[in-house]
Amino acid sequence: MTTTPGTELIELETGVFARLHEGLTNAGIIIGDEGVLVIDSLRVPSFARDLIQDVKHITDKPIQYLVDTHSHWDHAWGNEEFPDATIIGHENCYNEMVDVEWNREWREKVVSSGDPWSEEAGLVTITPPNLTFETSMRLYFGGRELHLRYLGRAHTSGDTHIQLPGDGIVFCGDVAQDGGIPYFGDSYPEEWPDTDDRLVNLPVERFVSGHGPVGAHSALEEARDFIYDLVGALKSAASEGKNAQEASSSTIAALTPRYGGWRSFERLEESLPEVYGKLA
Ligand SMILES: [Zn+2]
């Protein structure tokens, strides 16, 4: 099967695919009886069209549903390419996607980054979900139950976890990665540890993250430990009266032995002072 260069389609269970994109953003594809459910529409319309093309390699059924794991541009700015699908997201994901100022800042950042998709990002019609939920929603789809869960604020205010109870799988967006450091810019570090506990307590064996490989439950626990350790180190720095820069340095030193080899670890230097500001 030829898919978009840089991507890999992994069939986790019959009709359940992780579509991993090396160094970029992952998606999910679940085949139903009459149609398909896609998880995340990716960064710009051309990326969404590539994803749709890859779905067509698997099945000729139409895409009925799109679920946004969260509002971030690299997960949801392809939404406009799914005009015939019902777009599902958490209510807070909707609220973020209709926040004009918030999106203006994001667009400025992506357009000015000089990446191959920057120019196209300037043309995106940001398209929020048209069906939202607050705590939980179930879809009975293709003979399986899909449990969409809101577990609290974490990576953003509106992270959706798509649990497949019969398969022991969860798609968790950017709340957890297998061996990768998440982006903290729009995060809620005070609440993230509790949200992670709820995620870890789901009866799953595997998880598909928004970035990086498919992980086992042990990697989910490690991702939870990382958030605990990070928040704990920043809070103890605060209690010692350290400033943001000092707190950031001591936290990185504390995290390096266990997590220094994780993807994007070097990003912490830039992001931690802001996270500290939210906790101190
Ligand atoms: Zn994200």
User: What is the tens place of the pLDDT at every residue in 220-242?
Assistant: 999 999 999 999 999 999 999 99
The tens digit of pLDDT for each residue in 95-150 reads 999 999 999 999 999 999 999 999 999 999 999 999 999 999 999 999 999 999 99
Q: What is the mean pLDDT of the chain?
A: 97
Distance 125 CA to ligand 1 centre (A): 19
Domain boundaries, the chain: 1-146, 151-280
For residue 259, the CA-to-ligand 1 centroid distance in Å is 20
Question: Which superfamily does CATH assign the domain made up of 151-280 to?
Answer: Ribonuclease Z/Hydroxyacylglutathione hydrolase-like (3.60.15.10)
- What's the 23 CA to ligand 1 centre distance in angstroms? 14
Interval 180-216: pLDDT, tens:
999 999 999 999 999 999 999 999 999 999 999 999 9
Of the pLDDT bands very low, low, confident and very high (cuts 50, 70, 90), residue 3 is confident
CATH number of the domain located at residue range(s) 1-146 in this protein = 3.60.15.10
Domain 1-146 identical in fold to domain 151-280: yes
pLDDT of res. 1: 64
pTM of the shown model: 0.97
Q: What's residue 280's pLDDT?
A: 80
Cα(33) to centroid(ligand 1), Å: 30
Q: Which residues surround the ion ligand 1 when the cut-off is CB under 5 Å?
A: 72, 174
How far is the centre of ligand 1, averaged over its atoms, from the C-alpha of 186 (Å)? 8
- What 3 state SS string does the chain have? CCCCCCEEEEEEECCEEEEEECCCCCEEEEECCCCEEEECCCCCHHHHHHHHHHHHHHCCCCEEEEECCCCCHHHHCCHHHCCCCEEEEEHHHHHHHCCHHHHHHHHHHHHCCCCCCHHHHCCCCCCCCCEEECCEEEEEECCEEEEEEECCCCCCCCCEEEEECCCCEEECCCCCCCCECCCCCCCCCCCHHHHHHHHHCCCCCEEECCCCCCEEHHHHHHHHHHHHHHHHHHHHHHHCCCCHHHHHHHHHHHHHHHHCCCECHHHHHHHHHHHHHHHC
Ligand 1 center to 155 CA (angstroms)? 7
pLDDT tens digit sequence for 146-170? 999 999 999 999 999 999 999 999 9
Q: How far is the CA of 175 from the centre of ligand 1 (A)?
A: 8
Centre of ligand 1 to C-alpha 71, Å, is 7
Q: Is the pLDDT of residue 23 over 90?
A: yes
Asked which of 1-10, 77-86, 141-150, 233-242 is least confident by mean pLDDT, the reply is: 1-10
Q: How far is the CA of 183 from the centre of ligand 1 (A)?
A: 6
Cα-to-centroid distance, 70 and ligand 1 (Å):
7
How far is the centre of ligand 1, averaged over its atoms, from the C-alpha of 240 (Å)? Answer: 31
| 187 Cα–ligand 1 center, Å | 9
